[in-house]
Amino acid sequence: MSDWTDIGAAAELDASQRLEGDVDGYRVRVVRVSGTLYAFEDRCTHDDSPFEDAPIEDCEIICPRHGARFCIRTGAALTAPAYEPVATLPVRVENGVIQVRDNRWD
Ligand code: FES
């Protein structure tokens, strides 16, 4: 089972609305939507682009490169040109620090 990895201060996320980090060699992104934290691999499944500065509408993130939409809660690909989901990851706050764990190979 992988360990929890510190991504950043919860207060930092409140200011920027999104954080990025590295968990077990994978880029991850953490966002807060309607008060809930979500973490997912920062790699669009269409062509591997990061979601840097990607717009968020409701609970969907829109890839800035070709416009595919993904559900932030589930990772599901909602529109072409992406068809595969992005990996969503467990996220928690411990003593004011946001932590993410990659549980895909537990
Ligand atoms: S790289 Fe994301 S939609 Fe093409």
> For ligand 1, atom 1, which residue shows the shortest CA distance?
47
> For ligand 1, atom 4, which residue shows the shortest CA distance?
66
Q: Which domain holds residue 10?
A: 5-99
End-to-end CA gap in the chain = 5
When divided into structural domains, the chain yields a total of 1
Does residue 105 sit within a domain?
A: no
Does residue 16 sit within a domain?
A: yes
Whole-model pTM: value is: 0.93
- Domain of 46, CATH number, reads 2.102.10.10
Does residue 106 sit within a domain?
A: no
Does residue 104 sit within a domain?
A: no
Q: Contact at 8 Å (CB) between 71 and 60?
A: yes
Tokens 């980090």 found at: 21
Does residue 33 sit within a domain?
A: yes
Does residue 17 sit within a domain?
A: yes
Report how far ligand 1's centroid is from the alpha carbon of 13 (Å).
25
Give the pLDDT confidence of 23-76 residue by residue, as tens digits: 999 999 999 998 899 999 999 999 999 999 899 998 999 999 999 999 999 999
